[in-house]
Chains A and B, each alone.
Chain A
Amino acid sequence: GAVVSQHPSWVICKSGTSVKIECRSLDFQATTMFWYRQFPKQSLMLMATSNEGSKATYEQGVEKDKFLINHASLTLSTLTVTSAHPEDSSFYICSARVPAGLAGLGEQFFGPGTRLTVL
């Protein structure tokens, strides 16, 4: 099946620094990737939709200058949390949409998540 990886799996940083999280589709090309945020014991909240070669589409209330998304290739999207603060601490999950016809109907496959802790 389609595999999506994330790196790093966890990161601890100081307040004010920037953190980059990578999301890779390992065995397929994903024209669309999604970034989600999950607070403890809560559901996934979609942050943005990332399309290869174009600007990401952010959900309402998500600061695009805070959460920079780059989808430079068909297998890699990155999320950079700029000037991170403790309230940015969360579990960040990416997903990649499989082209319709490969797994059927544009199904999404999820990465294992990245735990960000900002001190």
Chain B
Amino acid sequence: AQSVTQLGSHVSVSEGALVLLRCNYSSSVPPYLFWYVQYPNQGLQLLLKYTTGATLVKGINGFEAEFKKSETSFHLTKPSAHMSDAAEYFCAVNPIRGGTASKLTFGTGTRLQVTL
């Protein structure tokens, strides 16, 4: 079985400050890892994903995440927060590499608040 833990259901940062959203996973096989963003009353938009290769992954809107196998983590960062980054962020894991039975397991989400 696989699981995703997002530490901190709510994170508040000042505009221009570093954003760090934490994600740890548990999977019996090497996973694919994803970060999604959800704005109010909207679906999910993919920010970035890790599949293979370079462990530091760059995504849209200036976000990046680093896959650390030894720590089973995939934390999301952005050097400088913008007001428009305020949203709900979900980490997800797909433990079966692209197979037909693969399903995403989501974390509980972290709400990012950006203040002036």
Contacts and interface: CB of A to CB of B under 8 A. Distances in A.
Nearest to B51: A105
Contacts of A107: 46, 49
Interface of A: 4, 6, 32, 34, 41-44, 46, 49, 91, 93, 95, 100, 104-113, 115
A113 B51 CA distance: 26
Q: Please report whether the interface of chain A is mostly helix, strand, loop or mixed according to DSSP.
A: strand
Given A105-B51, A107-B46, 12 more contacts: A32-B100, A34-B103, A46-B103, A95-B104, A100-B98, A105-B32, A105-B97, A105-B98, A110-B36, A110-B43, A112-B43, A113-B41
A93 B104 contact: no
Contacts of A34: 103-104
Contacts of A105: 32, 51, 97-98
Contacts of B109: 41-43
B70 interface: no
Contact of A93 (B44, B46, B49, B103): B44
